[in-house]
Amino acid sequence: MEKGNEKRVGLADIFWSYFKVGLTAFGFAILQKLKDLVKRKNWVSDRELNEGLALVQLYPGPIMVNLNTYIGYRLRGIPGALASTVAFITPTTLLMLILSYIYFSFGKMPWVRPVFTGLEALVVGVLINVMLDFGKRAIKGKVEAVISLAAFAFLVGKLNIVLLVLFALLVGAVLIRPKGSDTTTPAKPATSGSVTTSESVKSWKNWLGIGLALLVVLLGVFFSIRLSECPSSDIGKSALSFFKIGSIAFGNGLTILPLIQADVVENFQWLSLKQFADGIALSQITPGPFLVISTFIGFKLGGPLAALLTTFAMFSPSFILTLIFTELFTHVRNLDVVKGALAGVLSAFMGLLSAMLLQLGAIISASPVALVFSAAAFVSVRFFKLDILWIFGGGLLLWILLYSVGIPIG
């Protein structure tokens, strides 16, 4: 990247751009929305985006949230990471607070599941487009194809995702040597991704900021421990549970979900299985990261403040890990073995994406109307290049209209 081409990206621009993504993007459609954003803004190149997608799978935390933090950090360091992450999570957190209040105040919500089916149909259509786009870049040979198939089998067989990441890393590092590179230069070079002498001099400031951010998280853990020591207080215990899950769980929302269920439903019995299932449905019909179910659970235990605490506990560990891994990645990104390892992980992501598509497809397969909606969403995004907001907004409105007039939609 040319230092002379540097164009500083404003924090307000980062915040409001990611706020819009968090307000309008659902599920794996987040990835498509994110790609559209960085291409339109010319913030990072395709190569850097793919590197980031591979990198954020090497450590715990929700992949899409980690990817947003990664891009924000590369644009403006820790302030940029904080702006992109907070902006991305805020809309869905506020929506979930409102829905949680309605749910726990007025009981059952019979409209949730039909709307959920329509949402899944639209997500499947958009997901097919995302898979086709990334498949062209990720699967370039037999080794990548084998890794992708292994990842597919891992998710379908409900095997350990950590072992999958280690497998993809090892095979990629040993057997894959990517040919060529993306030479597209974005208007804004990475704040912490450059390896020039001037950036190296500033490295200690980055690590100091990471240390301060880590201190804030540790204070949150300490506060949760003190709360958990109070008689009959489940708020602190729930926060500690989400700190733990956010620190050890790999993958996307659905792969992390079993860990949450084990603590929330089985170990501590904070929610019934029915309430937990309804929380999943609500987190699916809200835009943004799926793990906003942590907000729902916190609200059940202690209202809005507890909901904000559990949300912070869920996402803060991976925020810190993203800063650390991105900073370390700066110094090793050009090594062939690292490029191979990242290519291996990216291939694994394609397998996971395919398995996720299969699972979501099974949900909507019994509804002919849902299949039509899915096909329409795919055609709209791939061939007519419609914005995701229009696809999900218009699609959901039409779905609800069909449901309201009594048309059987599944």
Mean per-residue pLDDT, 344-370: 81
- Tell me, what's the pLDDT at 6? 45
176-196 pLDDT per residue, tens: 887 754 444 444 444 444 444
Would you say residue 276 has pLDDT above 50? yes
DSSP bridge pairs for 288? 26
Measured distance CA(129)–CA(303) in Å, rounded: 39
Mean per-residue pLDDT, 142-147: 91
231-273 pLDDT per residue, tens: 557 888 999 999 988 887 766 665 577 678 888 887 888 988 7
Would you say residue 2 has pLDDT above 70? no
Would you say residue 5 has pLDDT above 50? no
Is 370 exposed, middle or buried, given 0-12, 13-18 or 19+ CB atoms closer than 10 A? buried
16-48 pLDDT per residue, tens: 999 998 988 776 667 778 888 888 898 988 888
- Tell me, what's the pLDDT at 109? 60
Amino acid at 184: T
194-230 pLDDT per residue, tens: 444 455 546 777 777 888 888 888 888 888 888 777 7
pLDDT tier, 315 (very low <50, low <70, confident <90, very high otherwise): very high
The whole-chain average pLDDT of the chain stands at 81
- CA torsion sign for 73, 74, 77, 80 is negative
Asked whether 62 and 253 are in contact (CB, 8 A), the reply is: yes
Lowest mean pLDDT, pick from 65-74, 101-110, 131-140:
101-110
- Who contacts 315 (Cβ-Cβ below 8 Å, separation ≥6)? 61, 62, 65, 85, 89, 246, 289, 291
